[in-house]
Amino acid sequence: MRSVAIVGTGFIGRGWAVCFARSGWDVRLWDPVDGAAESARRYIADMLPGIAAAGLLTGSTEQDVLARISIASTLTDAVEGAAHVQENAPEDLALKRGLFRELDGLAAPDAVIASSTSALLPSAFTDHLPGRARCIVAHPVNPPHLIPLVELVPAEWTDETTTERTEALMTEIGQSPIRLQREIDGFLLNRLQAAILDEAFRLVAEGYASTDAIDGCVKDGLAMRWSFMGPFETIDLNAPGGVRDYVERYHGMFRGMTETMRHSADWAGPVLDRIEMERREKLSQSELPERQMWRDRQLMALNVHRSTHQSE
């Protein structure tokens, strides 16, 4: 049976386990903390009924999925025979360098070793490895079983076949992989998020709008089209002659705006007091966990919607 090793079983590792197991893969969980993998497997067992009820188990039953997820008592056992290793350790460079040395020594020669890191460049923790050509970043979004994007970020020494195999694997299990041509801090997702958040913080800091107005603007305006097309296709369809026509019409208008975005508000400064106050008026601190469950139910419903309407 085709198997993957999940190294590190926090929220990201647990989501990955569901992604692989519901697609028929044998999943072996490993975590250095005593009892952590067992606890992760119980957490997954608790999650599965909700995912099954939403119809997001790809035709498998809860029992099938859970039966495919086992606990490895050693890292050696976890990676033995695995075609793919997905590492989800804390964002600590020294720790990841050491862990990748171990993984590169233990994994089968033809296995891909992928990191879920969002904060570290692949070159920073794979340069010292004999098998660095089979290492790559495969960065998911939380929770991976409900948000399909996976960013594939090669180091300069990553083999093209490593990227291709990872892309094919992610596609096979129903994720949506995208490729970066080369590494950059934040990859694509967090850079695009940084850009929009930076303007959002500026607009609140300078008194133009409330936190809630900005959320409403994105939720009920911008993100509706983006959620099935992305920003480039949106503008391509927003002028009669396509994207060139759009840029020729509106480039000057947008340049006037971007010229005023050359500074950042201090996100942790007084604006944060206002944002926190406005958020806590909408949702108290104690209601956060319940609202996180609401978010996940919304994501499940959106996945179901997309599976029936996202046809190209």
Segment 70 to 129, residues that bind its own copies, using CB under 8 A: 119
User: In the range 231-290, which residues lie near its own copies by CB under 8 A?
Assistant: 231-233, 235-238, 240-244, 247-248, 251, 253-258, 260-262, 264, 267-268, 272, 275-276, 279-280, 282-283, 285, 288
Residues 20-49 that bind its own copies (CB under 8 A): none
Closest CA to 37 of 14, 66, 65: 14
Which CB atom, from 102 or from 276, has the smaller least distance to its own copies? 276
Q: Which of 193, 270, 281, 307 binds its own copies (CB under 8 A)?
A: 193
**Cβ 278 to its own copies, closest distance in Å?**
8
- In the bound state with its own copies, the residue whose beta carbon lies nearer, of 101 and 274, is 274
Euclidean distance between CA atoms 215 and 281, whole angstroms: 14
Q: Which of 95, 182, 281, 307 binds its own copies (CB under 8 A)?
A: 182
CB 29 within 8 A of CB 70: yes
Q: Which is nearer to its own copies, 71 or 89 (CB)?
A: 89
- Of 40, 5, 57, the closest CA to residue 303 belongs to 57
Residue window 222-241: x/- pattern of binding to its own copies, with contact defined by CB under 8 A = xxxxxxxxxxxx-xxxx-xx
Structure tokens that stand for 40 in this block: 């992760």
Which lies closer to its own copies via its Cβ, residue 67 or residue 288?
288
- DSSP class of residue 113 equals E
Instruction: Please tell me whether residue 185 binds its own copies under the rule CB under 8 A.
Output: yes
Strands (E), 1-148: 3-7, 26-30, 69-71, 84-87, 112-115, 135-140
Token representation of residue 82 = 């695995």
Query: Rounded CA gap, 11 and 143, in Å?
Result: 7
